[in-house]
Amino acid sequence: MPELPEVETIRRLLAPDVANLTIAGIRVRRPQMVIGLKPRLIAGTISGQKITDLIRRGKYIVFELEKDALIFHLGMTGQLLFSSQWQNRSDKHVRIIISFTGNRQLLFKDPRTFGKIICVPGGDWRSHPRIQKLGPEPLDITPGTFLKHYIPHSSHRSIKSLLLDQSFLSGIGNIYCDETLFLSGLHPARTVDTLSQQDWRNLIRIVKKVLQKAIKNLGTSFSDYRKPDGSLGSNQEQLQVYGRGGKECYACGAVLLKTSIAQRGTVYCPECQAA
C-alpha cells in the first residue's frame, strides 16, 4: 500500500521525467476511479497543458499543470509507471493512460481499483475537500507545537486508530503505523489518554525516523508497490513487525502476535510492546 514514503519516492523519481512534458490525451478505462469532472471531459480540459510541478501531500501526489491540477491517490495497489514502451498498455490492470507529446506515456496501474484521480479546474488543489481535511505532514512537525495544538489528550481511542487517521497526521498507513508503534514500545491498543508527554515526544521522533528511513530505501515493496520504472524498493527488508506475525521478534525473540485493532491487521511484540 503506497504510504507517504512510497508516494514521495514516486514523486522524486517521476518529477525529472515528466516535468515540462505536454499532455496529449488521457484514456480512462475505469470511470469509477475518476472523481468530479466527467471522464470524457477531462481530455479536453488537460490536453495541451504542460506539467509544471509534482507535489506530494499525505498519500496524494499532485500534478500541477499550467492551468489545472491532477490529484492522484494510489489506493492500495496503485502504481504510476512511466514508459516510452507500447506493450504495457495491454496489461488489463492499467486503468488510466496519460499520453504526452513525443510518444511517452504515464500508466496508472491498479489491480484493485481503489485508486482515484481528481481533475481540479483552475489548479487550486489545496482547496479540494480531500486535501483540506488532511492533518499536518509528519516530517514537518515539531514536538513542541504538535504536543500543544494537535494531540487529543482526553481521547479514549487506540493509538493505532489515531496514527491511521489522516486528519491527525497525513501519510501514515498500516505498515508504518505498526513499525512506529513497535519501535516506540507502545502497545497498539493503548488508548491515547494513557500516553505521557515523554511517550508523545518519543513517538513523534520515531515516526519521522521510520518514514525517513523508508524514503531512503525508496519505499516498501511488500506486495504491489513499484517505482515508476517498475523496479522494487528495498524497505521491506527492514521491517520489524509488519507481515511477521507468528515469527520471532528481532529484539527479544518472543513470538510476534497478529490481531485486529482499529479494523486493521496488526502485528506487535507482546514483550517489547507490553500494554
Partner DNA sequence: AATTCGCCCTGTCGGC
Partner DNA sequence: TGCCGACAGGGCGAAT
Q: Which residues bind DNA (CB under 7 A)?
A: 1, 3, 32, 58-59, 73, 75-76, 92-93, 111-114, 130, 133, 152, 155-158, 161, 164, 166, 173-175, 258, 260, 262-265
Cα–Cα distance measured from residue 235 to residue 170, given in angstroms and rounded to the nearest whole number: 20
* Catalytic residue (choose from 11, 56, 59, 244): 59
Closer residue to DNA (CB): 58 or 219: 58
In whole angstroms, the minimum distance from the beta carbon of 105 to DNA comes to 21
What is the pairing mode between strands 34-35 and 23-28?
unpaired
Does 179 qualify as catalytic in the annotation? no
| CA-wise closest residue to 22 among 109, 120, 98, 96 | 98
In whole angstroms, the minimum distance from the beta carbon of 201 to DNA comes to 21
In whole angstroms, the minimum distance from the beta carbon of 56 to DNA comes to 12
Closer residue to DNA (CB): 101 or 155: 155
Burial category of 208 from C-beta neighbours within 10 Å (exposed 0-12, middle 13-18, buried 19 and up): middle
Cα–Cα distance measured from residue 245 to residue 9, given in angstroms and rounded to the nearest whole number: 27
Sheet holding 116-120, edge to edge: 34-35, 116-120, 69-73, 60-65, 51-57
Helical H segments across the chain, by residue range: 4-18, 39-46, 129-132, 143-149, 159-164, 174-184, 197-216
Does 264 qualify as catalytic in the annotation? yes
Question: Given its phi and psi angles, is residue 48 left (phi above 0), alpha (psi -120 to 50 degrees) or beta?
Answer: left
Closer residue to DNA (CB): 60 or 146: 60
* Catalytic residue (choose from 30, 89, 130, 264): 264
Closer residue to DNA (CB): 73 or 226: 73
In whole angstroms, the minimum distance from the beta carbon of 268 to DNA comes to 13
Query: Catalytic site residues?
Result: 2-3, 59, 264
